[in-house]
Amino acid sequence: MRKIVSVLALLLFLQVFCLPGRAEEGSWETLHQHALSLYQSGMFSEAVTEGLKALGEAEKTAGPDSPEAASTLGLLANAWHSLGQYDEAGPYYLRALAIHEARNGPDHPDTASTLNNLAQLRHFQARYAESEALYRRAIESYEKALGKDDPALATPLNNLAELYRSRGNAAAAEPLFFRAMALYEEHFGTDHPNVAMCLNNLALLYQAGGSPDQAESMFRRALAIFETLGPEHPYVAASLNNLALLLFEQKKVTTAEPLFIRALAVYEKNFGEGHPSVASVIHNLGELNRAKGDAKQSEAYFRRALAIKERYLGPDHPSVAGTLENLAALCRESGRKEEAKPLEERAAAIRRLYP
């Protein structure tokens, strides 16, 4: 099983709260803005370090349940999430959500934003039912707070559609993707990165549905838009990986390989060598080298991907099962049936956890 890297929109808490009578106390605002700037530059570890300073200042000067604390908690959660540290991110999202719900109620944009981000985290943790429920709450919250034509609504619509797509429910996913993309295009134009996110995910849908030409056209359009963010943006890496995977499945190995390699380089530059997205591309390179007949290189890639996934996703994540299955198949092809058997048994045990 090959691993696809999908693009899901992640909302940032971009608002900096300057409450009446506190504007002169700029320490929290300065620290928070610095952490946010680091996050937006892709310097996620540095954003965590500075964000923790901002959180401490917010708790000291405004209180642990203040809007300032909630804003920085959300930023820290996003930074941990971007680093692939999902267990670290969860408590920050939950605490931010509790503050927003207590202060603003369930139908407020800040509550909806946090629900969306927590839903995305649960998706990455393979907690699919929980993720779906949270996305639906986010959509309902946005609709009540802002109406059904507000562009903010497009983000949880896209993300819920991606959850359905990844679970094989194309019929539920497609109309949500188109609704999200229509909102993005109406408010931001046809060449906005958020439009590219929808294009990327629709391409994955059409790829799985047996329409490779339509999928390739969408992947290439999405890639062109993402590259306006810079050639080393993480979304460029995701788009390159997905286009490469489509080409690989069409047996265009020599065309796909450099795209995988470029995607890996971009991810490693942004996230370091140990991140779930890095592991996904490494896994795909393992499958490509297996198809080329280079069993030694393929096994090295699979084992490297497996180690990263086990560390960052946990030993029982379905993505771990995918790499175990491919490694087992490689062992069987190499005549090492006794090595393959425990890998297959472990993969099957993981699959049973996610019916």
Q: What is the mean pLDDT of each run of 10 residues along the chain (355 residues)?
A: 43 29 60 90 90 96 95 94 91 96 94 94 93 97 95 93 92 95 96 92 92 95 95 92 93 96 94 90 94 96 95 91 94 94 96 87
pLDDT of residue 24: 34
pLDDT of residue 3: 46
Where helices occur in 147-275 by DSSP H, the ranges are: 154-166, 170-188, 193-208, 212-226, 234-249, 253-271
First to last CA, the chain: 16
* pTM confidence score: 0.83
pLDDT of residue 243: 95
Task: Identify the CA nearest to 115 among candidates 136, 129, 99.
Answer: 136
pLDDT of residue 26: 57
Give the pair of three-digit tokens for residue 116: 């969306």
CB atoms within 10 A of CB 102: 11
CB 66 within 8 A of CB 74: no
Burial class (CB in 10 A: 0-12, 13-18, 19+), 352: exposed
Distance separating alpha carbons of residues 216 and 319, to the nearest angstrom? 24
CB 33 within 8 A of CB 16: yes
Distance separating alpha carbons of residues 229 and 41, to the nearest angstrom? 11
DSSP string, 22-43: -TT--HHHHHHHHHHHHHHTT-
Distance separating alpha carbons of residues 223 and 329, to the nearest angstrom? 32
Distance separating alpha carbons of residues 254 and 59, to the nearest angstrom? 55
Give the pair of three-digit tokens for residue 193: 């990165």
pLDDT of residue 183: 96
